[in-house]
A and B are shown apart, each in its own frame.
Chain A
Amino acid sequence: MALVSAKDMIDKAHAGHYAIPAFNTNNLEWTKAILLGIEAQKSPAIIQVSEGATKYMGGYKAVADLVNDLYNSLGITVPVALHLDHGTFEGAKKCLEAGFTSVMFDGSHFDFEENKEKSKEIIELAHSKGASVECEVGGIGGTEDGVTSSGELANPAECKEISDLGVDFLAAGIGNIHGPYPENWAGLNFERLDEIDKAVNGKPLVLHGGSGIPFDQVHKAVTLGVSKVNINTELQLEFTAAVRKYFEAKKDLEGKGYDPRKVLKPGVDAIQAKVEELCKAFGSANQA
């Protein structure tokens, strides 16, 4: 088996009204924990990296090889796509060369015409290599790899134009909770999501920043066309809390507690547990 494009799994999820979880990875431990978690839950899933994380991990090729090799050596049977999260134009091209099976081109900070033009080029290139593509319209809010956009909502007409380029799934701004304390505690603007869903005529949508969004809201978003939910921060918090406890309990001072494999284990176990919980919550468990 090999890594696959994300298109089929997301189309299936869209038809079956569940969401594919897209977990951001940072290193070998993260990748292993995610793969073992989704295999245990028999869930199709996307493993994604930001460009910052690819730098950390040593480059696009290093990431592609790591995920590919682990997929095979761990005997994973569920479909897995390797996706670039919030890619630049150049980054997306390099990932496609390095063997990523899916890329996001985030041109939301360009003016719309430029975003459209560049999105079109990446879509053509990716499809020629059998890879899937995600594009973004409008600011989702917050800082994405150094690019800050206000939490504005995406314009449904623009969503339709990008959708019509043949993009496989679309990220569109439907949340505006940015700021010290969210004004809109619902977090997501379901009316706008509904408008976008109608405008793009059934194109699968992506919910960014899925960490912490209550499950009932995720479910509601799924009924309105969301088929991919991104999870990053939540896994990081789980990992760090678990490792912190290890040190606070002074386990590093017991026996061979200083062994990095022992230090990281509670964190890795916590990631896997969270991955499994999310697969169940998003309905992707047992869909592989």
Chain B
Amino acid sequence: MNNDNEYEDIEFIDLDDDVNTSNPAPMAGDVNELSQLNEDPSDSLEVSNEEPISEVFSEEPSTLETPEDLPDLENAKDTSHHSSGSSSTKKHGKKHLSKAERRRRRRRKKLIRFCVFVAALILFLVSGGILLHAFIGYQKADKIYNDVSKSIFGDETAMVSVKGTGTNSSNSTTTSESEEVKLYTSYDHTALLAQNSDAVGYLQIPAIDVLLPVVQGDDNSYYLNHAFNGASSSNGTLFVDYRQPDGVESQNCIIYGHDMRNGSMFGALNKFVDSNFVSTGQNRYFYFYVNDKIYKYEIYAVHQTPAIGYTYTASFNTANEFLTYVSEMSRQSYYSSNVKFTGTEKTMTFSTCTNDDDIRLVVQGVRVAELDIATIAKEQGE
């Protein structure tokens, strides 16, 4: 709800502001501090053969060339001359002013280059550190979730291929359902609960390779930065809105997940923005494992939406309220679905961030079948 304006100015104002405020402000600060820290110029002589590198970065800190900075640098250099014993400078009687001047300029240039180099180096190390930190974070989270999946589903051999099934419900649209989907008949709900009592089930979205546990906490913030095992993690855990006591059985179960850059969690949800992707093969189906059942859902809406508002309706008082809701969601959707609603359906809404703080991407599905895991396993065995 905060404000509407930021969105529109990306091209014209925000770009400038980003450049002038958010990034370089700290940068400029660093550079200034550095120039103070590095007033011992003996260093500068050592590093002075780094010309090519400093050239590369020399476009950046215009701050260093401001007139105020230069006298300081020069003073620093002069004092150092005395202390370092001037061994590097050959006294040659009287020299032309121009030569002394040239030398001074050269030194000044070197010093500037040095400062630029150090600033660039620090920037490089810091950003490298940030990247590394993020990378390690991804790795850690990947491991956590791989381990959970393994412990709940066992080996991949336990997977069975299920052809496009409609079973109980007749809501699914007619398509070439020849493609196979791998479902897990080895799902162990009790084991999942034993690992985290907040767990409500397991989500599988074959189209984007999602296989993740889902929890429901006491609020909508704890699992933003805690992994399924309780470890602090920027990946967080997929979680059901805390306002929905019926959890997965709510008429519109809302599940939140981070839009991770490496595509983990709900980071690949944006693939569904392309309607052609949704309608390809069995991409529009996803599955939710609870107890001895696998609920099959069909995507009926994909759209961007304000961060608060109607899309996040947690419950409905009447079938009509629900029908109004799903028809509004369908209207806003990029993807046109053939699903027909009667008012008693159960739906699921996945919500994830976009690059805009005020806007979310949502993918919404309706339950079209409740598969019995034991039955599937038996059919497969035959």
The chain A residues found within 8 Å of chain B, CB to CB, are: 24, 26, 50-53, 55-56, 85-86, 140-146, 151, 175, 177-183, 185, 187-188, 208-214, 230-234, 236-238, 240-241, 244-245, 248
Contact = CB atoms under 8 A, between A and B. Distances in A.
Contact of B220 (A24, A175, A183, A210): A183
Contact of B3 (A52, A179, A208, A236): A208
Interface residues of B, number: 44
B13 A145 contact: yes
B2 A177 contact: yes
Contact of A181 (B220, B275, B276, B310): B220
Contact of A236 (B8, B12, B243): B8
B11 interface: yes
Contacts of B21: 146
Given A24-B4, A177-B1, A56 B306 contact: no
Given A185-B312, A248-B275, A230 B4 contact: yes
Specify which of A181, A183, A244, A245 lies most central, judged by the most chain B CB atoms within 10 Å of its CB.
Answer: A181
Given A50-B8, A181-B221, A141 B332 contact: no
A241 B329 CA distance: 12
Contacts of A26: 8
A209 B13 CA distance: 19
Contacts of A85: 5
30 contacts: A24-B4, A26-B8, A52-B14, A53-B9, A55-B13, A86-B5, A140-B2, A140-B3, A141-B3, A145-B5, A177-B307, A178-B2, A178-B357, A180-B353, A181-B220, A181-B224, A181-B256, A182-B308, A187-B1, A208-B3, A209-B3, A209-B4, A211-B4, A212-B308, A213-B1, A214-B309, A214-B310, A232-B8, A241-B303, A241-B334
B305 A209 contact: no
A72 B303 CA distance: 37
Nearest to A213: B1
Contacts of B74: none
A161 to B, nearest CB: 23
Specify which of A53, A209, A237 lies most central, judged by the most chain B CB atoms within 10 Å of its CB.
Answer: A209
A223 B13 CA distance: 36
B7 interface: yes
B309 A212 contact: yes
A146 B5 CA distance: 9
A55 B304 contact: no
Interface string B1-37: 1111111110111101110010000000000000000
B219 interface: yes
Specify which of A51, A240, A241 lies most central, judged by the most chain B CB atoms within 10 Å of its CB.
Answer: A241
A132 to B, nearest CB: 19
